[in-house]
Structure 1
Amino acid sequence: MLEGSTMISHLPTPRRLTAASICALALLSAAPIRAEPAVEVHLTYANGAFQPSEVRAPANKPVVFRVKNLDAKAMEFESTSLRVEKVVPSKAEGIVNVRPLQPGRYQFYDDFNQKARGVLTVQ
């Protein structure tokens, strides 16, 4: 092989090795990110109403609504303040994931039946 061959220029320089080592160590030493366990809230929708109509959850934790629709027609779990909507078919269960929330009251309703309302109180 000739002196000054291009093969030698493809070898990593000490500077590149140092930068790569620092990046690798930073990634390895970073603490693993743990997802906060969600709080489950169980609701039943029957005869055009939520049961219970008021539920509670702790602040700063994700919330999972498990909505069981016992009615003969579909319903839509919706909330402007929670920024969610989910159609739940008749005789089925829907799961609605909600981000961690600050303390407060968050209303929800059936978009197909505006009279069916409920509230989530976060403390």
Structure 2
Amino acid sequence: MIPASPMIPATVLAAAFAFGALATPAVARAEMPTFEVVAENGRFTPETIEVPANTRFRLQLTNRNAGPEEFETSSPFKELVVGPGVTRSTIFPPLKPGTYPFFGEFHPETAKGRFVAK
């Protein structure tokens, strides 16, 4: 707990904790939906990912290719470069209901997929 100071009384700090105003980033991360994708043999698995519409979410990408992969979307614009054997994540803004394609920059013919926001 954060100690009280002359500027912030202990009762104000206690109320802030009680109402979640000082939630830790780990708590915020745990509540966000997370979807895992694997890049392997120049493809993404799964190719279709259903995400909740109007909700921020995290994409976690694990690259099992022999070389790097770059996950990319144009709407919303996102790029995520992942080295071989590495897992990285990125946060997406809330998507309106619809279909949003993504692709792998280094395997554009085979590494394709889509988010379906419902």
Same-fold status (TM-score > 0.5):
yes
Q: Structure 2 stretches of 5 or more lacking a match?
A: 1-14
User: Size of the alignment, in residue pairs?
Assistant: 95
Letter in 1 for 2:33: V
Residue 112 of structure 1: which of 98, 106, 112 is its match? Answer: 106
Q: Structure 1 stretches of 5 or more lacking a match?
A: 1-27
Normalised to the residue count of structure 2, the TM-score between the two structures is 0.72
Match in the other structure for 2:11:
none
Match in the other structure for 1:68:
62
Displacement of 1:33 after TM fit? 9.4
1:122 aligns with 2:117: yes
Letter in 1 for 2:87: E
Q: Aligned with 1:113: secondary structure?
A: coil
Residue 51 of structure 1: which of 37, 45, 48 is its match? Answer: 45
Higher CA-based Rg? 1
Displacement of 1:39 after TM fit? 1.3
Displacement of 1:82 after TM fit? 2.2
Displacement of 1:38 after TM fit? 2.0
Match in the other structure for 2:9:
none
Match in the other structure for 2:76:
82
Q: Distance in 2 between matches of 1:69 and 1:114?
A: 15
Q: Identity of aligned pairs, percent?
A: 28
Q: Deviations over 1:26-77 (max 9, x none)?
A: xx9xx85986942111101100000111010111110110010011100000
Match in the other structure for 1:6:
none
Q: Distance in 1 between matches of 2:74 and 2:54?
A: 19
Q: Aligned with 1:114: secondary structure?
A: coil
Normalised to the residue count of structure 1, the TM-score between the two structures is 0.70
